[in-house]
Structure 1
Amino acid sequence: MLIIESPSQDAYFNIASEEYFLTRFPDEDIFLLYVNAPSIIVGKFQNTLAEVNLDYVNAQGIKVVRRLSGGGAVYHDLGNLNFSFHSLLANQDFMDFSKFTAPVLTVLNNLGVPAKLEGRNDLLVDGKKFSGNAKLAKNGKMIQHGTILLHSEMAVLGEALKVNPLKFIDKAVKSNRARVINLNEYLPEAADTNVFKALLIKEMVRNNADATLYTVTDDDIQHIQALADSKYSSWDWNFGFSPNYNFKKAIKIPAGFIELHMDVDQGHIQKIKIFGDFFASQPIEELEALLHGRKHQLSDIEQVLARTDLTAYFGKVSLEEILTLFH
């Protein structure tokens, strides 16, 4: 088993590293550990916009990254340790989450924390969740990865994942907003991510005679960064990959009531209809045609609206007012 500590706190880099090491070591067991700066990691089959409070996330500079595995969206920051096991799929029961959460539970139980695996894939203390886990199978290997909340910023977590569910109608996987806690509420002494990381590594070495500490090379870093740049930081992967969805929103502004309905396919607006009691001197269908095929991304929509005389369609309105319809 190779034990790998990521040298980076960049979410694009660390999520890319999971895919990279999967192909870099096709026959090796791997235990990968990383900590991300503030970021939201969404499941592969989720509608990103329906999981993320985009206004808050953008204002706070929080990165949004889609991972390869399914499951729900999670918030990462410097108070959250992430672990990832890579193993040959043929040797594993894909639906069993207990084997690779056992080391985390052992460390915690030895510290006097009554943590346990409950349900399918969550680690809890006194019925409160501190770790969510997910899996994927690829190239004959299995990855099981999870989070460990130690001293995360809970207020930020709550705001970053606060979304109005009425805006989206789709069949994408929805996150279960279970009550979550920081483990530092239960640990006898405050333990940061580095302390807990060291305890986990010690436990893995104790139980795996072949465990070897692997140092990430400059060549590894170059390849991981290239994958992060081309895929994991791209709009196409993080937003455009979302399942098809219907989006609707209504606003009341001085110019009147305006209601927007859109069908979005792979992140692009395929159907759009705008209703309301506003007064227009030009057919609203003209504006709808301009927006057809554009990305459901504020920067793209703003480009179209900024070069359009919006007063011809809505009366006395501002660009900012109409933009609020789309997020």
Structure 2
Amino acid sequence: MIYYDSKSTDPRYNCALESYLWHNHDDEEILLLWIDDTSVVVGRDQNVFSEVDMQIVGKAGVPVIRRNTNGGTVFHDLGNLNFAIIARSDSKEDDFERFLHPITLALKKLGVNAEIENGSELGIDGFKISENSQKHEIDGWVLHEGTLLFDSDLDILRFYTKQTGAQIISKTNVEASTRRLVTNIKNYCKEDLTIQDLMQVLIEEFIGKDAKRHHLHAPQHELIQKNAMERYAGWEWTFSKNATFKFHKNCFFKGYEAWVDLDVKDGIIEDGHVVSKHIDLHEMQNEIIGKRYDYYELQRLMPNRVNLFF
């Protein structure tokens, strides 16, 4: 096994890097480590709008990314270590213990007693520290991907992924995230350690103390950056995928009770009703039909009313 650690903290680039290594591993098993700037990352087949408070995330300018594997929505920041393992596999069935057990051994070296929980998670004293997912699209190989909460801002994590008063009913079969209480690994370390210490024990556990970092060349970085911008920064991959649903919200507009009902297909508002018994909202209703169900687009269209639709 060889390892790469990304020097970029752009979550779009790092998703593209993982994808590049998955499709170009040249029969090598790989450990990839990276840290992202503040971002929210949803599973490949999830409905973004069911998982993320887009109004709060949009106001904060926090990017939302759709990753390559399934599983739940996770929060990334500079205190969260992300890892991917590309390995040979004789089965197309998920086998999380194969990769999570070595991580528990690595954490023990830091004085942390973590356990495998719910099949695909790691926990300490009942609190989750790691969410994991896998895919088997290439015969004989598995991509295992996970997060490790080392010193993340847990208050922001809860803030960005909490549910609003709006109701979203998906029309496609999507995997919803399971909410659990979380904690940081650093709180349990026997010494005042850094996220780089965590990276080092993972490398030693999976590869050995003499492991050497591998590098990509400029043409490869250019291909990865191109994919990062075209796919992972693109609206189609991140927002329109599995975005077929009904939206309902009871709200107030100019002090009057109102309600909003939208039919969204592939991220486009196909039909909608914005109704109040007290004021005429038909003009607003007509404005949104045919528009992307997108916080930034609707904010540009109606900056003082965007909160009605999220």
* Mapped partners of 1:298, 1:60: distance in 2: 12
* Mapped partners of 2:223, 2:88: distance in 1: 23
Q: 2:278 is matched with which residue?
A: 278
Q: 2:23 is matched with which residue?
A: 23
CA contact (8 A) 2:54 2:295 kept: no
- 5 Å-filtered alignment, 1:86-97, equals 86-89=86-89, 91-92=90-91, 94-97=93-96
Q: What amino acid sits opposite 2:176 in the alignment?
A: K
In structure 2, the CA distance between the partners of 1:303 and 1:154, relative to structure 1 (3 Å rule), is: closer
Among 198, 204, 217, the residue aligned to 1:196: 198
* Mapped partners of 1:84, 1:254: distance in 2: 49
* Mapped partners of 1:83, 1:263: distance in 2: 37
Shift of 1:26: 4.5
* Mapped partners of 1:7, 1:241: distance in 2: 29
Higher helix share: 1
Q: 1:33 is matched with which residue?
A: 33
Q: What amino acid sits opposite 1:175 in the alignment?
A: S
Q: Give CA-to-partner distance per residue, 1:197-249, whole Å, 9 cap, x none.
A: 11111222239x9x653113222211110110100011111111134111111
Q: 2:298 is matched with which residue?
A: 301
Q: 2:233 is matched with which residue?
A: 233
CA contact (8 A) 2:31 2:84 kept: yes
Shift of 1:291: 2.4
* Mapped partners of 1:191, 1:227: distance in 2: 35
- 5 Å-filtered alignment, 1:111-126, equals 111-126=110-125
Q: 1:78 is matched with which residue?
A: 78
In structure 2, the CA distance between the partners of 1:119 and 1:165, relative to structure 1 (3 Å rule), is: farther
- After TM superposition, the score normalised by the length of structure 2 is 0.92
Q: Give CA-to-partner distance per residue, 1:144-202, whole Å, 9 cap, x none.
A: 11111111011111111112264211253211110110011111012222111111112
* Mapped partners of 2:264, 2:207: distance in 1: 48
Q: Give CA-to-partner distance per residue, 1:261-304, whole Å, 9 cap, x none.
A: 01111111112122221333xx82x6544422210013333455
CA contact (8 A) 1:79 1:192 kept: no
Structure 1 stretch displaced more, 190-199 or 50-59: 50-59
Q: 2:136 is matched with which residue?
A: 137
CA contact (8 A) 1:172 1:243 kept: no
Root-mean-square deviation over aligned CA pairs: 2.1
CA contact (8 A) 1:50 1:165 kept: no
* Mapped partners of 1:59, 1:255: distance in 2: 23
- 5 Å-filtered alignment, 1:168-207, equals 168-170=168-170, 171-206=173-208
Q: What amino acid sits opposite 1:235 in the alignment?
A: W
CA contact (8 A) 1:244 1:264 kept: yes
In structure 2, the CA distance between the partners of 1:279 and 1:54, relative to structure 1 (3 Å rule), is: closer
Q: 2:306 is matched with which residue?
A: 323
- 5 Å-filtered alignment, 1:203-222, equals 203-206=205-208, 213-222=213-222
- 5 Å-filtered alignment, 1:236-275, equals 236-254=236-254, 256-275=256-275
**Alignment partner of 1:206: what SS?**
coil
Q: What amino acid sits opposite 1:158 in the alignment?
A: R
In structure 2, the CA distance between the partners of 1:156 and 1:304, relative to structure 1 (3 Å rule), is: closer
CA contact (8 A) 1:130 1:182 kept: yes
Shift of 1:93: 5.5
Shift of 1:15: 0.9
Q: 2:68 is matched with which residue?
A: 68
CA contact (8 A) 1:7 1:216 kept: no
Q: 1:128 is matched with which residue?
A: 127
CA contact (8 A) 2:166 2:250 kept: no
Q: What amino acid sits opposite 1:269 in the alignment?
A: I
- After TM superposition, the score normalised by the length of structure 1 is 0.87
In structure 2, the CA distance between the partners of 1:61 and 1:291, relative to structure 1 (3 Å rule), is: closer
Q: 2:104 is matched with which residue?
A: 105
Structure 1 stretch displaced more, 137-146 or 31-40: 137-146
Shift of 1:19: 0.8
In structure 2, the CA distance between the partners of 1:294 and 1:26, relative to structure 1 (3 Å rule), is: farther
* Mapped partners of 1:303, 1:114: distance in 2: 49
Q: What amino acid sits opposite 1:275 in the alignment?
A: V
* Mapped partners of 1:279, 1:166: distance in 2: 21
**Alignment partner of 1:213: what SS?**
coil
**Alignment partner of 1:138: what SS?**
coil
Q: What amino acid sits opposite 2:290 in the alignment?
A: G
Structure 2 gap ranges (5+)? none
